[in-house]
Amino acid sequence: MRIVLLTGPGGDAQGWGDMKVTESVRQAAEALGHPTRIAYVADEAEFFRLVDKPDFDIVWSALYHLTPNEAFIGRNAAGTWVADELDRRKVPYVGSDSRTMKAMIDKFQTHEILAAAGVAVPSHVLLHSSDGASAVTYPAFVKPICESRSVGISDESVVHDEGELRRRIAYIEREFDQPALVEEFLPGDEYTALVLGNGKTRECLPGLVTVEDKHYRNYRILRSDLRGVGLTRISLAGARAEECRKLADDAAEAMGCLDHIRIDMRVDRAGKLRIIEVNGIPGLKPHKSWAPQIFTLYHGSPLGEEEDYLRLIEAIVNAAGKRYGLP
């Protein structure tokens, strides 16, 4: 199948990574026999030109929505959402449908959907600076509702009283132009699960995420300065593997996810795993992002990591192609 890899100014903040990562995905898809090109769309006009007259079979997008913003995702509720426009034109695409994409990028909405389905999430509340905060118990964890790569996350995300909480909400509104998601602080270990494929063939591969203790300051949280610099390690989930796998599977089912996602979790005070987010467009930096690392942990080939990366891309593309009957 002829693939277009769609990216733009927001491709790194929103999607699988920068242009170098996009080129790695392209080369892998080509090596698998799919004619694949990159479409970098700087704005709406370029995007519409691309999708109004498709000369490809399927789109794989690093963008949820179109934005000139390179630094962070932003809310962009009234903007142009890629999956909406592709649905409107009946153009096939890799990944979850528009409704699920929008739910995954909004961590509050994700929590609400999962909680309604009985899937464990932290207790949480959405707060603007003008809202009352009587529902919050401390310590609490405060973050933007729709960012990734730990943007807006530091030790100051952990708050202990209403004063600290209000300062942090004000910071999030000011820097990221969005309300704050306030969650119970989850003090335990962190896990992530790579989820590939659909229906009966869906596979959930759990991993434990660690950083050497010397890199933490006050809290064992993945601050923004610890991300993307080679400090996080993924290993097998050990005694938590089955709990983690089942939680990821239940969450993927409740959200209606397709093809390829990654689900982050942490252990609460009582020792129970809870989902902190479902990533709709996981990072795909060869050998470095968590998805390729987990894939190698479970499906490592004697031929090495390059071969593993090809097989990961193959699993994603095949899952999507199968849904549309594309070879």
Ligand X SMILES: Nc1ncnc2c1ncn2[C@@H]1O[C@H](COP(=O)(O)OP(=O)(O)OP(=O)(O)O)[C@@H](O)[C@H]1O
Minimum distance, C-beta of residue 276 to Mg ion, in the bound complex (Å): 6
Distance (Å) of CA 283 to CA 7, 131, 212, 324 = 13, 34, 22, 24
Nearest approach in angstroms of CB 122 to ligand X is: 5
Cβ closest to ligand X, residue 56 vs residue 290: 290
Chain residue whose CB lies nearest ligand X: 148
Instruction: For residue 161, give the 3-state DSSP assignment.
Output: coil
Q: Which helix (H) or strand (E) holds 88?
A: helix 82-89
Query: CA 109, CA 104: separation in Å to the nearest integer?
Result: 7
User: Quick check: 97 binds Mg ion (CB under 5 A)?
Assistant: no
> What CA dihedral angle connects 59, 62, 63 and 67, to 10 degrees?
-120
CB of 264 to Mg ion, least distance (A): 4
Please choose, from the candidates 39, 131, 34, 48, the residue with its C-alpha nearest in 3D space to the C-alpha of residue 85: 48
Which region, judged by CB under 5 A, interacts with Mg ion, from 136-144, 175-183, 200-208, 261-269?
Answer: 261-269
Q: Which of 190/203 has CB closer to ligand X?
A: 190
Interface with Mg ion (CB under 5 A), residue total: 1
Per CB under 5 A, the segment of 10-18, 85-93, 259-267, 296-304 that binds Mg ion is: 259-267
The reply on whether position 112 binds Mg ion by CB under 5 A is no
Beta bridge partners of 203: 196
Q: Which runs of consecutive H residues, i.e. helices, occur in 222-304?
A: 241-255, 290-299
Count Cβ atoms below 10 Å from residue 303 Cβ, excluding itself: 10
Is 264 a binder of Mg ion (CB under 5 A)? yes
By beta-carbon proximity to ligand X, the closer residue of 147 and 259 is 147
Nearest to ligand X of 4, 182 (CB atom): 182
In angstroms, what is the C-alpha Rg of the chain? 19
Q: Which residues form the interface with ligand X (CB under 6 A)?
A: 122, 141, 143, 147-151, 153, 183, 185-186, 190, 221-222, 264, 266, 276-277, 279
- Asked whether 301 and 308 are in contact (CB, 8 A), the reply is yes
Interacting residues with Mg ion (CB under 5 A): 264
